Amino acid sequence: MTALLTTNLGATPLIGRGKVRDLYDVDGNLLLVATDRISAFDHVLGTGIPGKGKILTQISLFWFQFLSGLVPNHIVTADVAGYPASLQPYADQLRGRSMLVKRAKMFPIECVARGYLSGSGWKEYKASGAVCGIALPLGLQEGSRLPEPIYTPATKSEGGTHDENIPFAATEALAGAADAAELRRLTLAIYGRAAQHAESCGLILADTKFEFGTTAEGVILADEVLTPDSSRFWDEAAWKPGGPQPSFDKQFVRDYLESIHWNKQAPAPSLPDDVVERTFAKYLEAFRRLTGSDPEL
């Protein structure tokens, strides 16, 4: 299996390339194509993870379907045979790793739910005893389960900068009070449903982030959802508060880059084969445990 690092769909208008996804304009809809690029420390690395884009896309599709009774989403179709004729010559490139989706006016907010204390939430808690202005009990450790899930929104980063946690009042200023309240309600409702499913698979959903937009039908769930790139999944059997928890994500990549003392400046290094293989295996295990099936690779 060869890593797909860049897509080329001929005359199809390219809107942009993110760290992982390429975005195209297709007859008024959007085509999201997940490549096998992988980023770490805000840089896209020189090596991809073959099959990663397919796993991410198919995990998202699983969750969009799983959550469809709770929140509408932006999916038009992920069946390449149902794409417009102009895309059929590129079917092999698109199959399993693309989604044709509705255009939506996106909220400028990363909607984050946390059920456990980790990452930037842990850093904030250590400094202030609170996360996004939400006071938490004293004596929590890194990896501790919170008394109840909390909504900790963030600004969307631009140009490779880090997202910044913001208080709920700031989201009201950005989106209006009614929409801000709805985003919080949906985020916590989706997190609750997804965390319950993950637990039934022996996984902990420590935290996750969602993106929402609006169409004529109202607020919809968009972008990717509940993948190892947007969520922290931990093995429930190995969970032990008091330090970082092993995650089903690109931790092997981060650990390798730290081990070679990369200065986190461009150009980003390439990865050795064993790091690529171990990272792919983690993504694949997450897919199998969450969906009970194998991805189309």
Number of C-alpha atoms within 13 angstroms, CB side, residue 296? 13
- pLDDT in the model for residue 161: 55
Q: Give the separation between CA 230 and CA 39, rounded to whole angstroms.
A: 12
pLDDT tens column, 131-158: 999 999 999 999 999 999 999 999 976 6
Residues of the chain with pLDDT under 50: 160
Q: Are residues 27 and 115 in the same domain?
A: no
Using the structure block, give the residue that is written with the tokens 């099959």.
Answer: 51
Q: Which of 103, 125, 146 represents a domain boundary (last residue)? A: 103
Contact 195, 149 (CB under 8 A): yes
Q: Are residues 148 and 170 in the same domain?
A: yes
Amino acid residing at 245: Q
Of 111, 210, 209, which Cα lies nearest the Cα of 153?
Answer: 111
- Is 21 inside a domain boundary? yes
- pLDDT in the model for residue 163: 76
- pLDDT in the model for residue 281: 95
Structural domain of 98: 1-103
Domain at 152, CATH number: 3.30.470.20
Q: Are residues 110 and 99 in the same domain?
A: no
Q: Considering its fold, how many domains does the chain have in total?
A: 2
The count of other CB atoms within 10 Å of the CB of residue 253 is 22
Q: Are residues 72 and 131 in the same domain?
A: no
Instruction: Give the list of residues 6+ apart from residue 266 with CB closer than 8 angstroms, or none.
Output: 43
- Is 119 inside a domain boundary? yes
- Is 52 inside a domain boundary? yes
- pLDDT in the model for residue 157: 67
- Is 85 inside a domain boundary? yes
Q: Are residues 89 and 197 in the same domain?
A: no
Contact 213, 75 (CB under 8 A): no
- Is 277 inside a domain boundary? no
Instruction: Give the list of residues 6+ apart from residue 128 with CB closer than 8 angstroms, or none.
Output: none
Q: Which of 213, 238, 263 represents a domain boundary (last residue)? A: 238
Contact 215, 249 (CB under 8 A): no
Q: Are residues 94 and 219 in the same domain?
A: no
Query: Any idea what DSSP says for residue 87?
Result: G
Q: Are residues 94 and 132 in the same domain?
A: no
Q: Are residues 71 and 178 in the same domain?
A: no
pTM of the model: 0.94
